[in-house]
Structure 1
Amino acid sequence: MYERCNLVFVEPTSFDDATKVPEWIDAMKSEISIIEKNGAWFLTNLPSGKHAIGVKWVHRTKCNPDGTIFKHKARLVVKGYAQIGGVDYGDTFAPVARLDTIKLLIAMAGQLGWNVFHLGVKSAILNGELEEDIYVCQPKGFMVP
């Protein structure tokens, strides 16, 4: 009976809540290390006339099919609603696959005997080149002097 129930995990809603649980601290450290490894940002002084966009942590508990915890995932996201069109960005574009296309490819794979593999992306950060300079605040708890 318990396997059929949808369990709810309490996820932290703030950085301060997350720092009380070691698993969330490890998840945030992992996210910061991936950002640094990918060279997604570098520390600089804020030029005059520019404003820095805030960031926040988003926490999600990933579960196995049986409801047990698979991992704690923390993502550092930019508060995009604070951006100003023409100042912080010129155009927006996010490549996504349509569900119809995915269904078609899976159906073709079944009919043609293709192998289908599941791919999990650990970090899909900044897949494209930015033309604008974007300035963000350092995340709380991970500030570098």
Structure 2
Amino acid sequence: MQEELVEFERNSVWQLIPKPKGHTIVGTRWVYKNKLDESGSVVRNKDMIVAKGYSQLEGINYDETYALMARMEAILIFLAYAAHKNVKVHQMDIKGAFLNGELKEEVYL
């Protein structure tokens, strides 16, 4: 958890401020997962802090949801296309990935 928070600070993706009055706060929670090797042994315990998107209100950015994880269907389509075009594909693991978008509104977590 400490590594995740250090990455937030290093990438300047958040700012700790007092709770503002009159603004909706989107809750967060920690999600934990064990990273396994080929034999099924636990290699590393992973964690990620995520926003509770289900707390959104209909009519206020309700249909705008984003995920950092790729769906298996998207990966399979990508690999099939790469095989069809005879393109070499390399795999790598990203330790800290952040969406790089400009928000028009203020968001409080």
TM-score range, shorter chain: 0.7 to 0.9
Q: Name 1:105's counterpart in structure 2.
A: 82
Report the CA distance between 1:122 and its aligned residue: 1.4
The sequence identity of aligned pairs, in percent, is 31
Mapped contact 1:54–1:79 kept (Cα < 8 A): yes
1:32 and 1:77, CA in 2 relative to 1: closer, same or farther beyond 3 A?
Answer: same
Distance across 2 between alignment mates of 1:30 and 1:81: 26
Bigger Rg over Cα: 1
Higher helix content, 1 or 2: 1
1:122-137 aligned at under 5 Å gives the runs: 122-136=95-109
Gaps of 5+ in 1: 1-27, 137-145
SS at match of 1:105: helix
Report the CA distance between 1:131 and its aligned residue: 2.1
Gaps of 5+ in 2: none
Distance across 1 between alignment mates of 2:13 and 2:34: 25
- RMSD of equivalent CA atoms: 2.4
Distance across 1 between alignment mates of 2:41 and 2:22: 49
Mapped contact 2:82–2:88 kept (Cα < 8 A): no
Report the CA distance between 1:90 and its aligned residue: 7.0
Following superposition, which runs of at least 4 residues in structure 1 exceed 6 angstroms of deviation? Answer: none
Distance across 2 between alignment mates of 1:86 and 1:41: 26
Q: Name 1:35's counterpart in structure 2.
A: 8
Distance across 1 between alignment mates of 2:47 and 2:41: 18
Report the CA distance between 1:107 and its aligned residue: 3.4
Paired residues, what number?
104
Distance across 2 between alignment mates of 1:132 and 1:94: 16
Q: Name 2:39's counterpart in structure 1.
A: 66
Distance across 2 between alignment mates of 1:44 and 1:30: 21
Mapped contact 1:56–1:78 kept (Cα < 8 A): yes
Distance across 1 between alignment mates of 2:79 and 2:106: 34
Query: With structure 2 as the length reference, what TM-score do the two structures score?
Result: 0.76
SS at match of 1:73: strand
Q: Name 1:118's counterpart in structure 2.
A: 91
